């Protein structure tokens, strides 16, 4: 038992305790609560730490029995110990009790008793109380941290290890045993035993990484295989770095292992899937190229006989013949086929990226009139209302603009039965001029409006299915996008359709 008797005996009088000022200053600077009790256990003096610990003001405890400051269950126990010590019994063990604050909170403490005189002479006692709150909280926090670490290791499939060369010791966390599939009761984690668990083909790789770390170079990270005692193989991610003494010398290593078997298998599966996808994509590109080449070749080869048919039909029409009535369907069908061939050729050039536009100032009204003349037979029986100012100039490639208008106006004619009305309008928009082509055809349901600009798409269940290539609107979209604009449609079933596209003004804005 600690004793302050040699320091304080001369200062104890029959009327109480008069603590030497120097001793009082020392005791007041202590963070441990210190009390002096007389032989009856009454407090005759206490330091500042005691007042703080108990939440008491000056004079509130002096003159009162010390047991009044104890949690009731501990008061009886302390009183018995004090009686035994007063009778000369040796008290070697510190007392773990609880002090009671003025706000009824309890403070766990360790009490140390020291007599102010020799045992049996009836002197008083010095009592020092050490607050256990922080220690217990630290222990609780440490235990909780250890539980969280174990839980985290289990969830993440990780484990940690430390190699201490000075002590020839290797320490493993619980997670390491789980990763390598060994029983902590049967496996001793030495460095050589650790290496024995690594796949033979990867042991040199791990040794080389460790040698780099021990040489004080950069930390190492690598994947390697490990063998479980049952013969199964797992993939392990290893991160290891050196540990140093205060002088910077490498004295060991510490590291983290993680079971990455699932990740490794997933990566292998993903690589295989990616390889298959690449092969499939390459095959699709090859087939697409073949299709485009086929379309271009067929379209080109069809052009020559169609030109001849149209040319000779015109000559026959100029020559009176008894078969004159047969010329009109020949010309009409040849023209339709010629238009389809032109669209296929146009589309194949766009898809191949061989179309270059050269925008310049173009009179829009003049372009619309030109297209009307070109589509004269397709527009037969229909009324075309044009609301385009004669002086409206746009910034566009003339040939590309003509193809946009041919496809949109031709599409409107296709789906507007005579005596349908087609309206072509133009006006200012957010980014230049907006051109619209409206028809009074069957309209397009909302769920199909985002798809009609895709190649070969045809509205399902249309009651007016028309002959065509299915690429006209796809051509329009690509030509408009080459100009930096966009094309869209407003339509409702049974209410016709209005196609709009934006184009820059004649000054390029």
pLDDT digits (tens, 9 = 90+) for 203-225: 999 888 888 887 877 778 889 99
Mean pLDDT of the chain: 80
CA distance 135 to 109: 10
SS3 443: coil
* Domain carrying residue 197: 146-259
Backbone angles phi, psi at 435, to 5 degrees: -105, 135
Task: Based on the fold, state whether residues 112 and 90 are members of the same structural domain.
Answer: yes
Q: What is the mean pLDDT of residues 465-493?
A: 84
Task: Based on the fold, state whether residues 270 and 216 are members of the same structural domain.
Answer: no
Q: Is position 140 within any domain?
A: no
Do the beta carbons of residue 174 and residue 200 sit within 8 Å?
A: no
Do the beta carbons of residue 177 and residue 188 sit within 8 Å?
A: no
Backbone angles phi, psi at 167, to 5 degrees: -95, 0
Tally of domains in the chain: 4
**CATH number of the structural domain spanning residue 305:** 1.10.287.130
Residue that finishes a domain, picked among 259, 287, 308: 259
Lowest-confidence segment of 32-41, 43-52, 212-221 by average pLDDT:
212-221
Task: Based on the fold, state whether residues 252 and 270 are members of the same structural domain.
Answer: no
Instruction: Provide the pLDDT for residue 437.
Output: 97
Looking at the DSSP assignment, which residues form a beta bridge with residue 45? 36
Contacts of 64 (CB under 8 A, 6+ apart): 42, 43
Task: Based on the fold, state whether residues 179 and 302 are members of the same structural domain.
Answer: no
Task: Based on the fold, state whether residues 270 and 229 are members of the same structural domain.
Answer: no
Instruction: Provide the pLDDT for residue 56.
Output: 65
The total of other beta-carbon atoms located within 10 Å of residue 208's CB is 12
For the chain, what is the radius of gyration of the CA atoms?
Answer: 49
Instruction: Provide the pLDDT for residue 369.
Output: 94
**CATH number of the structural domain spanning residue 69:** 3.30.450.20
pLDDT tens for each residue of 96-110: 888 888 777 888 888
Q: Is position 421 within any domain?
A: yes
Three-state helix/strand/coil letters over 83-130: HHHHCCCCCCCCEEEEEECCCCCEEEEEEEEEECCCCCCCCCEEEEEE
pLDDT tens for each residue of 316-357: 767 766 666 767 677 667 766 766 777 666 777 777 777 788
């Amino acid at each position: 038992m600690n004793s302050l008797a040699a320091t304080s005996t001369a200062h104890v009088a029959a009327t109480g305790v008069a603590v030497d000022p120097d001793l009082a200053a020392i005791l007041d600077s202590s963070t441990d609560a210190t009390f002096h009790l007389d032989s009856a256990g009454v407090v005759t003096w206490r330091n500042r730490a005691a007042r703080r610990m108990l939440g008491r003001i000056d004079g509130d405890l002096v003159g009162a029995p010390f047991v009044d400051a104890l949690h009731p269950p501990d008061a009886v126990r302390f009183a018995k110990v004090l009686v035994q010590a007063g009778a000369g019994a040796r008290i070697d063990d510190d007392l773990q009790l609880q002090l009671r604050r003025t706000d009824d909170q309890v403070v766990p403490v360790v009490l140390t008793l020291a007599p102010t005189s020799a045992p049996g002479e009836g002197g008083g006692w010095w009592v020092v109380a050490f607050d256990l709150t922080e220690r217990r909280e630290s222990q609780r926090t440490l235990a909780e941290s250890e539980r969280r670490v174990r839980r985290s290791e289990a969830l993440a499939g990780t484990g940690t290890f430390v190699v201490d060369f000075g002590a020839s010791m290797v320490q493993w966390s619980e997670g390491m045993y789980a990763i390598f599939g060994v029983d902590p009761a049967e496996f001793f984690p030495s460095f050589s035993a650790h290496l024995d668990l690594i796949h033979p083909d990867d042991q040199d790789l791990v040794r080389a990484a460790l040698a780099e770390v021990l040489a004080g170079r950069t930390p190492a990270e690598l994947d390697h295989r490990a063998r479980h005692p049952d013969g199964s193989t797992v993939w392990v991610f290893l991160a290891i770095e050196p540990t140093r003494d205060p002088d910077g010398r490498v004295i060991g290593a510490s590291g983290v292992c993680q079971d990455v078997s699932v990740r490794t298998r997933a990566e292998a599966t993903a690589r295989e899937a990616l390889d298959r996808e690449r092969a499939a994509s390459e095959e699709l590109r090859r087939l697409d190229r073949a299709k485009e080449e086929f379309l271009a070749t067929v379209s080109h080869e069809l052009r020559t006989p169609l030109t001849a048919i149209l040319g000779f039909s015109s000559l026959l029409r100029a020559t009176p013949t008894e078969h004159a009535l047969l010329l009109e369907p020949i010309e009409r069908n040849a023209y339709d086929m010629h238009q389809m061939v032109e669209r296929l050729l146009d589309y194949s050039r766009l898809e191949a990226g061989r179309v270059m536009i050269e925008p310049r100032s173009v009179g829009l009204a003049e372009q619309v009139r030109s297209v009307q003349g070109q589509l004269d037979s397709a527009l037969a029986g229909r009324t075309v209302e044009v609301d385009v100012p004669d002086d409206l100039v746009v910034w566009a490639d003339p040939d590309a603009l003509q193809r946009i208008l041919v496809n949109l106006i031709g599409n409107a004619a296709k789906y507007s039965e005579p005596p349908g009305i087609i309206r072509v309008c133009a006006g200012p928009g957010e980014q230049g001029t907006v051109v619209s082509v409206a028809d009074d055809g069957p309209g397009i349901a909302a769920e199909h409006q985002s798809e009609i600009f895709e190649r070969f798409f045809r509205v399902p269940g249309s009651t007016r299915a028309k002959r065509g290539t299915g690429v006209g609107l796809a051509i329009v979209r690509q030509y408009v996008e080459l100009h930096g604009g966009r094309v869209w449609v407003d339509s409702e079933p049974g209410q016709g359709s209005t196609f709009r596209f934006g184009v820059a003004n004649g000054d390029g804005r």
